[in-house]
Amino acid sequence: MNDTPRSPKLRPWHLDRDAVVYIRQSTPQQVVDHQESTARQYALADRAEELGWTRGRVSVIDDDLGRSGQSVEGRPGFQRLLAEVALDRVGLILGLEMSRLARSCKDWHQLLELCARFHTLLADADGLYDPTDHNDRLLLGLQSSTR
């Protein structure tokens, strides 16, 4: 990642909440054929620890392995992620790449709005994002339009 563990985006209140690793692959066949991708996604829990979370504060949502990201329908993991953010329990969401969290612009922007409202950071292999920051919000928005 480009950001160091001491990123000014990371505040004490983020660490008081959970870090959530969201894992998804689009089809059951991808889960079988691309196990290295699944392993890389699970390894994001280590990244949360590098950023300052204790292992006990890192949770993994992998209910959506083998499910398309085209809609929130049929994705209990994504629905749970939204609920946890809305309950102000999440300080950081990690994904292999942010654009993979939701393939629907509507679902993606709903997640971004919730993250901004509850000051939840997002992280992927390219960086650490604060959806309340204008530049990060612009970058995250552009990622959703390039799918």
Question: Span 13-145: which CATH code?
Answer: 3.40.50.1390
- The CA-atom distances, in angstroms, between 112 and each of 4, 7, 27, 129 are 22, 20, 25, 11
Strands, sheet with 127-129, edge to edge from the N-terminal-most edge strand: 58-65, 18-25, 90-94, 121-124, 127-129
What is the domain partition of the chain in residue ranges?
Answer: 13-145
* Coil/strand/helix, residue 44: helix
Annotated catalytic sites, by residue? 26
Question: Which residue stretches of 21-62 are H helix?
Answer: 28-33, 35-42, 44-50
Top-confidence residue, 14 or 35: 14
CB of 13 closer than 8 Å to CB of 91: yes
pLDDT in tens, 66-103: 766 666 777 899 999 999 999 999 999 999 877 667 76
Stated pTM of the model: 0.87
